[in-house]
Amino acid sequence: MEHLDITGKSIVEANRALRNLISDHDQVIIDNPHSSHNLGTALKGYGKVTINGSTGYFTGGFLAGPTLDILGNTGWYTGDNMSAGEIIISKNTGSNCGPSMMGGTILVRGNSGSRVGFAMKGGNLIVCGDVGRWAGYMTMGGRIIVLGKMGPVIGESMYRGIIHTADPDVEEKLGNNVSVVPIADDEKKEVSALFEKYQIDHPVDSLKSVIPLKTGRKKYTIFNPTHKVRPKNV
């Protein structure tokens, strides 16, 4: 286990030092994060990074493998475009958590702001507390789970993906072109596995699902060619 104190370091220097450490060590602890923006961006590989404190905007952007365990709050755009790995926030996040994420898991133990999962394409985004308005706006895939209250205009302009919510007033807060349906049996199993992994004590049967009105329950495919390219003659 290695410690990295980023006091006095620019974010470029801090991220460079972090990448070097995580390539050689399974666990790295960042001390004195000072709510820095862009901390842990473009981090690849494996291992766990524990951040002792809060961070600013774009924490874990483009994450591709490691686990970020943040013992505090994060600012806007946490996990922007992440493709793999985990971001676990012990407290709250700002708005636009998980925008355009393609894979991995974001877990928010507290509350999150507006536009949770904006343009999300894959992965899991779990908020144990409340979220603001426009949750799931323009999502194209993935799963959002909200166990607290949700703001208005839920799922506006969803293409694909799904939102599981425990908000009893979800029907009154829907955006356009989405509907509320009971959670399916296979979805219960998948959500239960997530709850067990992250030690979330909440009844899965209390959840309802928000899905796109036209496309329904369909998974997003980033690239699916409709024809095969014929090899050139040699």
Q: Is residue 233 part of a domain?
A: no
Cα–Cα distance measured from residue 85 to residue 101, given in angstroms and rounded to the nearest whole number: 11
Helix (H) or strand (E) holding 69: strand 64-70
Whole-prediction pTM: 0.92
Residue 229 DSSP symbol:
P
Rounded Cα distance between 36 and 40, Å, is: 10
**221 lies in a domain?**
no
Q: What is the CATH number of the domain that holds 19?
A: 2.160.20.60
Q: Would you say residue 106 lies in a domain?
A: yes
Tens-digit pLDDT profile for residues 90-109:
999 999 999 999 999 999 99
Looking at residues 117-144, what average pLDDT do you find?
98
For residue 61, pLDDT over 60 is answered with yes
Domain that holds residue 83: 2-212
Q: What one-character DSSP code corresponds to residue 232?
A: P
**Distance, CA of 218 to CA of 234 (rounded, Å):** 41
Which letter does DSSP use for residue 81 in this model? T
Confidence category of residue 214, pLDDT binned at 50, 70, 90: confident
Whether 232 is in a domain gets the answer no
130 domain residue, yes or no: yes
Residues with Cβ < 8 Å from 228, sequence gap 6 or more? none
- Is 81's pLDDT higher than 50? yes
Q: What CA dihedral angle connects 10, 11, 13 and 16, to 10 degrees?
A: 180
> Is 97 in contact with 128 (CB distance < 8 Å)?
no
Count up the domains in the chain and report the number: 1
Indicate whether 216 pLDDT > 80: no
Q: CA-to-CA distance for 92 and 61, rounded, in angstroms?
A: 17
Residue 53 covered by a domain: yes
Question: Does residue 146 lie in a domain region?
Answer: yes
Q: Kindly tell me if the per-residue pLDDT of 77 is higher than 50.
A: yes
52 falls within a domain: yes
